[in-house]
Amino acid sequence: MDVHRCRFVDYTPATILSSCFTDDGRYVVGRSNGQLEVWDPTHWTHLVTIPGTASSSVEGICSADGRIFTVGGSTMVTEWDLDTWRPKSNYDCNAGVVWCVDANPSGTHLAAGCDDGSVVIMSIEGGVVEYQSILQRQDSRVMSIKWIDDNVVIGGCADGRIRSWSVNERGRMLATMRVDKSKTESTLVWSLAVIPGGSQFVSGDSTGQVKFWDVKTSTLLQSFSPHDADVLALAVSSDGTKVFSAGVDRKIHQFTLVESKKSSKWAHSFNRLLHANDVRTLAIFDDWLVSGGIERSIVVSSVSEFLDGEYKKFTVDQQISNTFTYKNFVGLFSDQFVKVWRVENSTPQLVAKLIINAEENVTSVDMSDDYIAVATINAIKVFAIVDAGAKLEVTKVKDAQFEEINPGAKFVRWVGSKLVAITAEEEIYRFSITADSISLDTELETLGSRSTSRQVAVSPDSSSVVILRHNGDLEVYHENSGRRLTKISGGCQMTFTGDDRLAVYSDSASIKEVFVQGSQLLTPWSNAHQKMPARFVSLAHDAPVEGCFYLDSKLWVYGTSWLAYFDMSSMSSASGKKRSRQGTEVAVDASSASFSVTEKYRPIIKAAPLSASSMVVVERPLLSLPTTEAYALPKIQL
């Protein structure tokens, strides 16, 4: 088996600016390119990426009753539809640029802090966003905002003050609290957090100080100076006994509530250095403490064992891949560009680069012998390609009638000579493409699933299209009909292992191979491999599976730091018992006998077949990622 090891694909994830947990425990990340990522923390599987819009960023994010609201670089507050990947609504605050947003504890109202000093209150009851009021005005930019309860709002401002307002008393300002001033520049109150119970809150500012305040009296209780630079993020444990702070100096500090019979005080416990650059956001749910920032990594640590507990870091995670392959071509799409390289021998060659003129970022790309299809959530663009040796000659296929009905798509796939698109509304269209026309052949009738598409796979003979949905439903579509195959709980990756066989990996580290035609469901291989090798389970737990493919009678599965295969030709010949050298009989696990793994390649962002006897492994070394200069921590010489 020939393996082409590629490190030329310049995939660079955007920096992390904000994050939050939803009420049901999903983790949502906002990035500097406008993308939103939704994660399931149970096994840390990446559920969906909402592409966002061009030239935008997610500076602030909050959740209310399962709804997601974001702000960033405009006067708008945007609510996102996680099913269609589109904005559900854009509300113009009619004030300055919005810097921060937060939802009240009841999930009925939002407060948005603006750069002109306004704090805008919006009602979100009934599924719509409506203006309610503007709180008593002041002139300083509102950098951070939090609700104490359903009435009182506090805002950290750019003049070194924290202000509180009463929403129910016509927005009257209740109090003003002052933090320490910097000698050289104005102090910015970057972050606020409310202790559960509503009797205290915490502030972090540009002098590196963390302060604890009494809500009732608006007085300072305790002050700490643990940071060497700006404190950009704060998070509080659910029981209110631990507070975490982070910022420009890269360290995460923990404060612990120490209680006695007469009083209770906060103590600075310890800190850890888990990031290589500024930490911009912290979020807590149950025992998960999740941080992110300029380093682009999502770092998951433990609230209860923060000092010396294990942690996970997701930097170039590609569970939802933006890298694609076709024959001897490797491609990458990100934001509004598409790059294609030719892989020949040991010399890769960039043969095409497409800049997509659209308001949204690219959602999906697929390639055939004659065309490249590029989709955003609101438009599909098809480009004819001609191999001219050193380059691919690329020409857009223009059809005025198609542009009028252009539906956009979450996924596009070539099925033989036809293009299949799955739209934001989960409709399935099949198009015929020529050099100067794009015509709609059929609209497949969907099965009415309440869950949205997670992955799409096409059979080798192009006779079947399978959709894996977020609830685990597997649906197979043929020429003009579709049917529900089965439900695989936690299913997140899949690949065809034959014209009528499909392998599905679930986040519980199990693999099922099923027939997509006929009445029988599980294949003989699947029946013989009910239990996965312990080594495979351990690897999938440490570095979640990013993808799988079938090549040379083997099912290949890979994560960021490992590549493994199951030999599907040796189904169960090794099962049973064999005699050891000592003469005793020992059991042999069939799955272990046909399983092999290597950790030679890392970090892997894509592995796929190039031909019947070769594959490509695309790596993205962390040291090759572009970085900004990090805060210089003091060095201690021993």
* Helix or strand holding residue 537 (H, E): helix 534-542
pTM: 0.93
Sign of CA dihedral 308, 310, 316, 320: negative
Question: Nearest 5°: CA angle at 563, between 14 and 16?
Answer: 15
Confidence of residue 586 (pLDDT cuts 50, 70, 90): very low
Average pLDDT over residues 539-545: 92
Cβ proximity of 189 and 144 under 8 Å = yes
How does DSSP assign 39-52, residue by residue? EETTTTEEEEEE--
Does residue 575 surpass a pLDDT of 60? no
**Listed residue (616, 552, 560, 565) closest to 331, CA to CA:** 616
pLDDT recorded at residue 21: 97
pLDDT of 79 reads: 97
pLDDT beyond 70 at 46: yes
Q: What are phi and psi of 282, to 5 degrees?
A: -130, 145
User: 572 pLDDT band (50/70/90 cuts)?
Assistant: very low
Average pLDDT, whole number, for the chain? 92
Of the given ranges (419-423, 560-564, 580-584), which has the lowest mean pLDDT?
580-584
Strand partners, 556: 549, 565
Residues contacting residue 460 through CB under 8 Å, at least 6 positions apart: 496, 498, 499
pLDDT tens digit sequence for 100-119: 999 999 999 999 999 999 99
Phi, psi of 127 (to 5 degrees): 80, 5
pLDDT confidence tier of residue 593, bands split at 50, 70 and 90: low
pLDDT for 628 equals 85
Residue 51: alpha-carbon gap to chain centroid = 10
Q: Which of 366, 218, 344 is nearest to 374 (CA)?
A: 366
- In this prediction, residue 579 has a pLDDT band, given cuts at 50, 70 and 90, of very low
Name the percent of the chain in helix, strand, coil, to the closest 5: 5, 55, 40
Q: What is the pLDDT of residue 573?
A: 37
What's the pLDDT at 580? 46
Is pLDDT at 589 greater than 70 in this prediction? Answer: no
**What is the rounded CA–CA span in Å between residue 361 and residue 350?**
22
What is the reported pLDDT for 633?
Answer: 66
Which superfamily does 321-445 belong to? YVTN repeat-like/Quinoprotein amine dehydrogenase (2.130.10.10)
* Chain segment 227-257, per-residue pLDDT in tens: 999 999 999 999 999 999 999 999 999 999 9
360-389: average pLDDT: 96
Instruction: Say what the pLDDT of residue 574 is.
Output: 40
* pLDDT tens-digit series, residues 59-84: 999 999 999 999 998 999 999 999 99
Per-residue model confidence as pLDDT tens digits over 209-220: 999 999 999 999
pLDDT digits over 158-168, tens only? 999 999 999 99
What pLDDT sits at residue 263? 87
Q: Check whether 260 has a pLDDT greater than 90.
A: no
Average pLDDT over residues 297-303: 96
- Does position 588 have pLDDT exceeding 70, yes or no? no
Q: What is the pLDDT of residue 635?
A: 61
Distance separating alpha carbons of residues 337 and 374, to the nearest angstrom: 10
pLDDT confidence bin for 130, thresholds 50/70/90: very high
Whole-number Cα distances in Å, 139 to 59, 158, 189, 459: 21, 10, 15, 62
Whether 4 shows a pLDDT value over 70: the answer reads yes
- CA 366 to each of CA 275, 325, 330, 453, 547: distance values in angstroms, whole numbers, following the listed order: 35, 8, 11, 17, 16
Q: What's the pLDDT score for residue 515?
A: 96
Structural domain boundaries in the chain: 321-445, 456-559+562-598
pLDDT at site 578: 45
* pLDDT score recorded for residue 110: 98
pLDDT band at 636 (very low <50, low <70, confident <90, very high): low
Contact 17, 280 (CB under 8 A): yes
> How far apart are alpha carbons 381 and 374 in whole angstroms?
5
Overall fold of domain 456-559+562-598? Methylamine Dehydrogenase; Chain H (2.130.10)
pLDDT of residue 576: 43
Question: What pLDDT sits at residue 577?
Answer: 47
Q: Is it the case that residue 499 has pLDDT exceeding 90?
A: yes
Note the pLDDT of residue 571: 57
Per-residue pLDDT of 447-489, as tens digits, reads 877 789 999 999 999 999 999 999 999 999 987 788 999 999 9
Instruction: Please give the average per-residue pLDDT across 306-323, as a whole number.
Output: 92
Query: Is residue 584 predicted with pLDDT exceeding 80?
Result: no
Quote the pLDDT of residue 481: 83
